[in-house]
C-alpha cells in the first residue's frame, strides 16, 4: 500500500529564512506528487505538482519542489519566507487515474516577523 | 480558476440525527468528486469517491450505510451523515478534478459538531 510521510509536524522560522519541508512516499509505480497549502480559515490550494519531466518544479508564490525518484522524495523549498507563508502544508500522492489523493500528515509552518 | 463550494460551512446537531452536506462545482462539471475527513491537527483521509449516476466507492473502513453519498448531477454531490454520533464530529472536505488541468479543487470544508 502507498503512503506519504512528512518529517516535520511544526516548523517555526523568521521572515527571510529559507524553508525546506520533507516529503517521502512509498509506492513502486508511477506517481503524481503534489504540495497543497491551507492558510488559516481557508481551503486547500495547490502550490505545485509533478507529473513527469523536469524533476524540479516551480509553483506559485516562489515555492519549488524537487522530485528525487531514487530517494522517493518530493521536498518543498522556498528561499526566503514571508509572514504570509504561515500555513499548513500537505504533501500528496496520486497513483491512479481517478484522482484520489493520499495526503501526508501535514506540516504547520509559522513565520515570525 | 475552478471553484468548489460546500454548504453548510458549519453545522451543529444532536446525536442520532442526520446531516446533509452539499458539494458543488460552480463553474465546471465533475463526474467524479471526492469526500475527505480531517481530524484536528491531522491530515485529510479519503472517505469515498462520488460518481455521477452510479454508486459511490468507499475506502476501506468507511461505513457506507452511515455516510451516504449521492451524486445526482454533474455539479452536485451530497454526503449525508446518518444517525450522527459525537465521534462523527469532524471537518468534511470535498474535492473535484478540474477540466484538463488534472488538478483537484477543494471546497472550503464543513465543520460538523455532534452533541
Instruction: Tell me the C-alpha distance between B85 and B71, whole Å.
Output: 24
Interface of B with A in 25-54 (CB under 8 A): 32, 34, 36, 41-46, 49
pLDDT computed for residue A99 by the predictor: 77
A66 and A59 Cβ atoms separated by less than 8 Å: no
Burial of A96 (0-12, 13-18, 19+ CB in 10 A): exposed
Average pLDDT in the A73-83 region?
Answer: 97
pLDDT category at B114 given cuts 50, 70, 90 is very high
Query: Quick one: DSSP state of residue B59?
Result: P
Please give the grid coordinates belonging to residue A63.
515555492
For residue B29, the SS3 value is: coil
- Going by C-alpha positions, the residue among B100, B87, B79 that lies closest to residue B18 is B79
Instruction: Tell me the C-alpha distance between A33 and A103, whole Å.
Output: 10
Percent residues over pLDDT 70 in chain A: 98
For residue A66, the SS3 value is: strand
pLDDT computed for residue B1 by the predictor: 64
Q: How many CB pairs under 8 A join A and B?
A: 48
State the best of B23, B39, B44 to mutate against chain A, taking most chain A CBs within 10 Å: B44
Contacts of A105 in chain B (CB under 8 A): 42-43
pLDDT computed for residue A8 by the predictor: 86
CA distance to partner chain A, nearest, from residue B5 (Å): 10
Taking only the tens place, the pLDDT of each residue in A22-54 is 999 998 888 899 999 999 888 899 999 999 899
Instruction: Tell me the C-alpha distance between A4 and A106, whole Å.
Output: 10
- Closest B-chain CA to A101: B46
Phi, psi of B101 (to 5 degrees): -80, -10
Residues A54, A78, A80, A41: is their CA dihedral positive or negative?
positive
Taking only the tens place, the pLDDT of each residue in B39-93 is 877 789 999 999 998 899 999 999 999 999 999 899 999 999 999 999 999 999 9
Q: Which residues pair with A29 in a beta bridge?
A: none
Instruction: Tell me the C-alpha distance between B58 and B47, whole Å.
Output: 6
Please give the grid coordinates belonging to residue A16.
527571510
Tell whether A30 is within 8 A of chain B (Cβ): no
Tell whether A102 is within 8 A of chain B (Cβ): yes
A42, A43, A105: residue with CB nearest B42 = A105
CA distance to partner chain A, nearest, from residue B16 (Å): 29
Across chain A, what does the average pLDDT equal? 93
In angstroms, what CA-CA distances link B113 with B10, B22, B42, B84, B92? 8, 16, 17, 9, 11
Amino acid at each position: 500500500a502507498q503512503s506519504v510521510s512528512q518529517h516535520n509536524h511544526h516548523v517555526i522560522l523568521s521572515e527571510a529564512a529559507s524553508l525546506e519541508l520533507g516529503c517521502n512516499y512509498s509506492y513502486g509505480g508511477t506517481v503524481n506528487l503534489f504540495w497543497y497549502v491551507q492558510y488559516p480559515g481557508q481551503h486547500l490550494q495547490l502550490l505545485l505538482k509533478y507529473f513527469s519531466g523536469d524533476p524540479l518544479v516551480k509553483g506559485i508564490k516562489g515555492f519549488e519542489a524537487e522530485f528525487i525518484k531514487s530517494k522517493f522524495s518530493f521536498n518543498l523549498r522556498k528561499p526566503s519566507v514571508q509572514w504570509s507563508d504561515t500555513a499548513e502544508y500537505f504533501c500528496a500522492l496520486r497513483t491512479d487515474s481517478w484522482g484520489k489523493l493520499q495526503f501526508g500528515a501535514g506540516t504547520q509552518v509559522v513565520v515570525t516577523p | 480558476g475552478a471553484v468548489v463550494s460546500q454548504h453548510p460551512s458549519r453545522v451543529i446537531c444532536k446525536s442520532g440525527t442526520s446531516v446533509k452536506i452539499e458539494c458543488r462545482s460552480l463553474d465546471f462539471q465533475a463526474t467524479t468528486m471526492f469526500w475527505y475527513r480531517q481530524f484536528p491537527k491531522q491530515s485529510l483521509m479519503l472517505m469515498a469517491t462520488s460518481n455521477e449516476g452510479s454508486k459511490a466507492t468507499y475506502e476501506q473502513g468507511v461505513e457506507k450505510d452511515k455516510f451516504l453519498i449521492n451524486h445526482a448531477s454533474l455539479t452536485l454531490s451530497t454526503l449525508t451523515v446518518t444517525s450522527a454520533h459525537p465521534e462523527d464530529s469532524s471537518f468534511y472536505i470535498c474535492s473535484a478534478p478540474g477540466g484538463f488541468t488534472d488538478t483537484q479543487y477543494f471546497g472550503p470544508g464543513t465543520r460538523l459538531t455532534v452533541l
